[in-house]
Amino acid sequence: MKIFAAFIVLLLSVCSANAQRVIYSEPDKNDFRQTEFEIIGKVGGNILIYKNTRNNYALSVYDFDMKQKERVKLNFLPERIINADFLAYPEYCYMFYQYQKRNVVYAMAAKMDGNGKIVGSPIVMDTTEIGFLASNKIYSVINSEDKEFIGLFKINSKNEENFLLTTSIFNKGLERQDKQFISIRMPERHDYLTEFVIDNEGDFAFVRAVQSQENDKIQKLYFFEKRLGSDQVRAKQVQLNSISLDDVRVKVDNYNKHYIISSFYSKSRRGNIEGLYTCIWDKASDSAKSVIAYEFNENLRNDAKGDNSVKSAFNDFFIRNLIVRKDGGFLLAAESFFSTGRGGNYNRYDYMYGSPFLRPMDYYSFSPYGYGYPWYRYNTLGQSTRYNAQNIAVFSFDSTGTMSWSNVLNKNQYDDETDAFIGYSMLNTGDQLHFLFNQQEKRLQLLNDQSISPTGQVTRNPTLRNLDQGYDFMARYGKQVGARQIIFPCLYRNYLCFARLDL
């Protein structure tokens, strides 16, 4: 029996070892370092990846062994588009794009199958006439968690005291369900709107943040909700308890019909980050179910501080992920990110905007599909810049918003002139959250895997096998495409390629 038990353990360990593997695509001579791309996901059994090289638009179709089956040119697109977003379903995907013709901006949608071929013709979702000096980045697209509702919206901010919000809600067949024009008062000079979400009932929500001056902490916060089919927006002030918020994030809890509002906070306008603020907003009562400001203790600060002092340990942390649990609790992951240059070190107070959503001249433009660190420092041209991404802090909250546990995953990354190879991707396997990132080992950048359990236990997993030399992973651009599978972009001899990692 002992021999049989030992054999079973050995067999399970071998099966587990064989489960982890990396499969690379062949570099395509048409794809250079400068190629814009987006990993759309798994559609119809294939992996679809959008590519744009000097306004040559194409979808690359890969099989599950990462062999390119076809490169489909998107000939239906105009010569130049403003932007592109994608939403994947099991058997098809949508491409949402904008383009300008004369003084009109068109918001378009095209449906494509798993072979990258267009189904039917592109449809016009909306149009806007603009002035000569106006920004043409007008429309934003969001979707509900179950992908049954798609929201298209734009905000006209020409009148600084009264913004005009236009929302259009579509079902997954792109049939319009609702269109409303909503006036939103912006009485304070430095008000702005941020973090737009849509829930599984088609209801639209966002927050209005009030700053005392540009690039400052948030002094007041208002929560707005618009129900599907209604032109009325319900606005309520959110209790802050005399603290100042940083970047505010909103997440829909569709299981319990809540909205989770979260932010780092400080006790003064430009003070050190003191802790995490959470508000659980109940949809049925249109009021806060709980409001809690959790202050970081010294032990957590010591674990997270990296190159900072204990007092300023969280000054460079930004919220990256917010994951809702069915029991009403949630997990939050934040990463330390900052840049250094000839002029010194740059943190959250040195960036152009206090919010990750850009605020151009006439309209807002926001995309949850895009990649990249959202804070862009002003006027870095001509400077030698080093980008740094350090520790990851993970926090677990119960259904009342009370923190259950916290832990820190240690890492120290940097790169010069680009942030493409630093940062992390997260793979949710159900039993664990895997954080995948590059780490310097013997002059090589190797992809590492650290995981955290539902009880907060951190595991440093062995170095990933099958990592071929010469492939540089752009870890933070990874996209999960299966229960234990993620696609990463890589650079190989300055050519863009892709890798599938199975855990």
Give the DSSP per-residue string, 241-291: TT-EE-S-EEEEETTTTEEEEEEEEESSTT----EEEEEEEETTTTEEEEE
Q: How many CB atoms lie within 10 A of CB 431?
A: 8
Least confident of 266-280, 291-305, 357-371: 357-371
Q: What amino acid is encoded at 359 in this protein?
A: R
140-161 pLDDT, tens digit each: 999 999 999 999 999 988 888 8
Contact criterion met (CB below 8 Å) for 178 and 157:
no
Confidence of residue 417 (pLDDT cuts 50, 70, 90): confident
Nearest to 134 by CA among 158, 155, 154, 153: 158
| Region 406-430 average pLDDT | 93
Helix (H, G, I), strand (E, B) or coil at 314: coil
Q: Dmax over Cα atoms in the chain, in whole Å? A: 82
Confidence of residue 435 (pLDDT cuts 50, 70, 90): very high
Residue-level pLDDT at 215: 63
CA angle 478, 479, 481 (to 5 degrees): 140
Nearest to 153 by CA among 172, 126, 122: 126
Give the DSSP per-residue string, 462-482: PPPS---TTEEE-GGG-EEEE
437-447 pLDDT, tens digit each: 998 877 778 99
Nearest to 223 by CA among 240, 205, 210: 205
Rg (CA), the chain: 23
Residue-level pLDDT at 352: 38
Q: What amino acid is encoded at 106 in this protein?
A: Y
Q: Is the pLDDT of residue 30 over 80?
A: yes
Residue 327, CA distances (Å) to 277, 287, 309, 379, 420 in order: 20, 19, 36, 45, 36
377-404 pLDDT, tens digit each: 333 445 688 889 999 999 999 999 999 9
Confidence of residue 345 (pLDDT cuts 50, 70, 90): low
Which residues, in sequence order, are CB contacts of 278 under 8 Å at separation 6+?
Answer: 260, 261, 262, 290, 291, 292, 294, 397, 401
| 41 burial level (CB within 10 Å; 0-12, 13-18, 19+) | buried
Confidence of residue 9 (pLDDT cuts 50, 70, 90): very low
Residue-level pLDDT at 247: 85
231-288 pLDDT, tens digit each: 889 999 999 988 999 889 999 999 999 999 999 999 987 789 999 999 999 999 999 9
Residue 224 CA to residue 189 CA, distance in Å, equals: 19
Q: Please give the model's pTM, rounded to 2 decimal places.
A: 0.89
174-203 pLDDT, tens digit each: 999 999 999 999 988 788 898 899 999 999
| Region 283-305 average pLDDT | 96
Q: How many CB atoms lie within 10 A of CB 185?
A: 11
Beta strands in 275-418 (DSSP E): 275-282, 287-295, 317-324, 330-341, 344-346, 385-397, 403-409, 413-416
Residue 137 CA to residue 362 CA, distance in Å, equals: 9
Residue 75 CA to residue 322 CA, distance in Å, equals: 38
Nearest to 110 by CA among 138, 85, 79: 85
How high is the mean pLDDT of the chain? 87
